[in-house]
A and B are shown apart, each in its own frame.
Chain A
């Protein structure tokens, strides 16, 4: 039982879904981004996804691309990710990292997993690493007791869903649609199908991400998923000015959503 699964199970026992908030480290600058992650926790996020910015984020839409590019221009480092993870843990939420794989490969999978564990992190979401190409990562993560959180998509076949569920620890990240991160007018039916397919393949905990930006959408997703993942909407709320009050308001809206209060 990892810290992440424990927390997700406690939340399920409360009869609600978890709110998982994503923010890139270093946007609009390192200290503001860490302060923003504390705001996520204070305003109602149960789990915080800490995102080390990467130069070529192929699964991200314009909002997170912009944030990552801004952070990299300011000189953000992978070390800052572990500082942020530590801050999230101290603030009382479960920190996980969402990282493109080259940053992990260059640091070394074993070292990355060890440093994350030492900083208090619970798991890593790998948007461009699937279980079949991630065997080395899975080994390194298991040794450090770090959860390996893989993505499942509407296009995922039955066979691949089994592979994904089998290799995932913590939760399975169900992408609600075919596309990149960013707000959508509606979340659509695909998410529910991905969650159902993951559960059928044996997944105990499935959280939904991509496209969720309003309390109403969160409330809807919360009826069938164990957690609701929100990224771009939080980044956008904070903006280049780092408006933490606006961020808190947005987080509260989503936190009410996962509790079915809209």
Chain B
């Protein structure tokens, strides 16, 4: 036993992580690391963050047992950690409030962010409005089309949304464009990174801000009678998953399962299952698993879920996979959408399509483990933004009757 796995500080997690960025950004990353290191030991910083979590986000988020859904999962007990009930609709607000407070501390007045599904963009626009920061959101053009509602939400909140038309027109290109903005405007601008990936300090810092999910849920599960047999969360970049796992990392009897987007299937070339089908490389500032060809060109990813449609993954997940502490399961579009529909119909809860990947994982695991098992699933976001896409998937839009 070599001590706790929790809250690993970075910059490296095993061989993963680091800071592979242009020199122009290194001073800003050092400044941010320095500011965060000071903030994390400053009681005033966390007091303010706790106050916002309570009075603004609505924390602690509840856990909900879902017995009618669980009937379809081999009768296992299933609890949901309800990050969907947070103000602005997902776990993303936890991270954004922390980074926005830090932005104020380092005296910058403008924030930029990338977004895939729009959840992180909405959360950033929300925090920027709250804290009077100028806010620019980069979003792949394809994502602005499939998540039009979130684009409107960001604009209503006062953010400028810039559709990115280069490359694959998705999250990966939005990150590229945000980095380009940051290089040019680093004097005034802080990059509010949305997931536990990218260069140090983002993977560790975002994990710390999301850790509240597992700190709360661990206490809540203990109050229910004991720790769960497994914790499941969806993984794109991996921020809700790492936040859902961290407080359980030293509980050896709790399985940690990240559900990746397998799109049309990992045996096709249309998926985003980075840990299942990728290999080590450098993308967006850190060394981690990535989907790439043999020469190192990033491959196009696919998922029905814009938030998971990313060919990289946070470095701490690559590390947890490499040491066998967490498992990563591929979940196809079809499996995720079936879980989506099932939760709607059995429990009256409309999940985000991202989170539905974790629900699908729970259906599989419950059948494997049977009625004695207790599973905790992080419901990372609500599905309001996905209504049109889901209705199209299930042929429920008016005028589409066969």
Contacts and interface: CB of A to CB of B under 8 A. Distances in A.
Contacts of B276: none
A106 B292 CA distance: 10
B180 A58 contact: yes
Interface in A149-205: 150-157, 160, 164, 175, 178-180
A105 B296 contact: yes
Nearest to A180: B180
A15 to B, nearest CB: 30
Contacts of B179: 58
Interface in B243-296: 281-285, 290, 292, 294-296
Contact of B20 (A65, A101, A175): A101
A234 B19 CA distance: 31
B22 A151 contact: yes
A245 interface: no
A164 B296 contact: no
Residue with the greatest number of chain A CB neighbours at <10 A, chosen from B20, B167, B179? B20
A133 B282 CA distance: 12
B23 A106 contact: no
Contact of B28 (A129, A130, A155): A155
A178 B27 contact: no
B296 A56 contact: no
Interface in A92-136: 101-107, 127-130, 132-133
A247 interface: no
A129 to B, nearest CB: 6
B180 A61 contact: yes
Contacts of B166: 62, 65, 69
Nearest to A164: B23
A87 interface: no
Contact of A179 (B21, B184, B296): B184
A132 B180 CA distance: 21
Nearest to A104: B296
Interface of A: 54-59, 61-62, 65, 69, 72, 77-78, 101-107, 127-130, 132-133, 150-157, 160, 164, 175, 178-180
7 contacts: A101-B20, A106-B281, A127-B22, A150-B23, A153-B22, A160-B26, A180-B180
Interface of B: 18-28, 30, 166-167, 172, 176, 179-180, 183-187, 281-285, 290, 292, 294-298
